[in-house]
Amino acid sequence: MIQREQLRRAPARVWVAVALLCSCLFMCTAPGRITYPDDEIVFQTTQSLVTDHDLTIAGIPKRSGERADRPNGTFGWGSGRDGQRYGFFGHGISIVAAPIYALADATVDEVPKLWRYAQRSDLYTFHKRGHEADWLRMVVSVTNCLITPLAAVLLGLWLQSLGHGARTSVLMALIYALGTTAWPYAGTLLSEPLSAAVLLGAALAISRFHRSGARAQLWIAASLTGLSVHVHVLNLLAIPCLLGYALGPAQIRARVRASWRIWAIAVGLGAAGVALLGATQWWRFGSPFETGRFDHYGHWVWPFEGLLAMLIAPGRSLFWYSPPLILAALAWPAMRRRDEPAAYLVLALSLTRLVFVACRSDWHGGWAIGPRYLVPTVPFLLVPLAGWLERWREHTKPARAAAAALLGASVPLQAWLASHSVFSLFWQLNHEYGRDRYMWISDWRLEATPVIAFWRQQQPALEFWRAGQARAAWTSAQFDALWFGAWRLSAATEADGLWWIVVGLGGVLALAAASLGWWFWRARRAVDDPPGRGYGERDAAPPVGS
């Protein structure tokens, strides 16, 4: 029989299984190539860090996303004070990806040159294709396939620290990783998954500080908060929210004066991270307040269009593309009654980011699935759902059936989105409707949304399949995933090594899933039929801040 302590906190092996399951699944469905020009700039920064030990980049030789009045090859970089080009995206993701780039560079001469053909070659690329260039990008592009599972584990650990039971915390980690846009974004080299992980790490450390009073946890939270701005400058908005969370419970506020030195060190650590960003911006662009964007992207606008689109537009809504957030939003009042500090952190962090992004003309985030700039808020918005799930048996049968259907449908939805190229969809819309209308079309026309448009792209393959031409069907299928590319490469050539790697990842995934299933089954038996008095997950730990 599983021990009671394991109902309070999931064993380390369970979190390892969660991370292995998610990372293997993400790597199989990742495109294995650079999808966006933003990704290419991040890749070039990573390459420069490893090979030249600086942040200069060559830039993209093709026209990629420049404004109409900008010359070709100027997307994604600003002119530095030394005349060099520097990417104006957060370089935190490049630092994290540097070891992965070093691994790719060390193996580039060892892998078969045919492996590069596992990537789709009929899509727009931002570099001159070749074995070395493609292999380096294939390996580095899976960086977020490792970061996103880490974010899921951090979410689960934070929920445990908030007093939720182990089963609920593990289930919530899986819901976040597999039922929200965390999955399709794991196949990119964008900074949003790392932003989510860093902010979750800060929230977890603050929660542990609240429970134990350990000053090291407060300092870890402050350091992560300060460093988060190096991932994306928008994370500046999270600093006051996390500070408010740290000072939230009444007993914490009462201890501030008595332990002012501890708090002074924490403030210093957070400020050091922000100051370091200013120093790097001065070093690159000549001013600590210059991010290098040089008005490339947008300007201030009234927030009404952005707010409406990011909340309800079928092609851009936060809730359409992360359906579990609908349930979580309904559960927020109950969370506020249970744990007011955490509830208001969720509200403040999400609203400040939503309103700020909506006030920018680039609120849509470019060619992306859903509201790209809100992706780091998804795990926070999901937190209220944990309390709703722990009260599962108290809900009516229709409510449980609707919730199960919504959560169950979210997983294949994310798998569908992750296995296709949203870039190809926007490319097509741009040509069909023109650069002045296609973004509005993609936001509000139902048939132009990724879910439906991807289905339309698969129609030629389905026609071949109905005609009994299986080979032609697989050849014309529009999947943009490593598993599919590796399988087609293996079927067409003798280079089946990459396919066997995918099979190996599938085996690890299956073992991790079986391990989690066994643990959930044992944990359920322990809850349903405990020795002695009844013991449920809601007895696992008292709420924090009550």
Angstrom distance (rounded) from CA 351 to CA 334: 19
Convert the pLDDT of each residue in 195-239 to its tens digit: 999 999 999 999 999 988 888 999 999 999 999 999 999 999 999
70 has pLDDT over 90: no
Cα torsion angle, 374, 378, 383, 385, sign = positive
For the CA atoms of 306, 374, 241, 151, the dihedral, rounded to the nearest 10 degrees, stands at 180
Convert the pLDDT of each residue in 72-124 to its tens digit: 888 888 888 888 889 888 899 999 999 999 999 999 999 999 999 999 888 88
What's the average model confidence in pLDDT over 516-525?
89
The pTM (predicted TM-score) of the whole model is 0.93
DSSP string for residues in 113-131: GGGGGGS-SSS--SS---H
543 has pLDDT over 60: no
Q: How does DSSP classify residue 73?
A: T
The closest of 117, 3, 50, 123 to 367, measured between CA atoms, is 123
Convert the pLDDT of each residue in 24-58 to its tens digit: 999 999 999 998 899 999 999 999 999 999 999 98
The closest of 170, 146, 149, 147 to 158, measured between CA atoms, is 170
Model confidence band, residue 294 (pLDDT cutoffs 50, 70, 90): low
Q: Is 42 helix (H, G, I), strand (E, B) or coil?
A: helix
pLDDT attached to residue 250 = 66
Q: 324 with 407: CB under 8 angstroms? A: yes
Angstrom distance (rounded) from CA 388 to CA 390: 5
Phi, psi dihedral angles at 77 (to 5 degrees): -145, 155
Angstrom distance (rounded) from CA 217 to CA 414: 34
pLDDT attached to residue 7 = 60
Angstrom distance (rounded) from CA 24 to CA 16: 12
Residue appearing with tokens 């209220």: 384
pLDDT attached to residue 295 = 56
Q: Which residues pair with 85 in a beta bridge?
A: 79
Phi, psi dihedral angles at 248 (to 5 degrees): -65, -60
Domain ranges within the chain, ordered by starting residue? 5-27+144-417, 31-141, 420-478
534 has pLDDT over 60: no
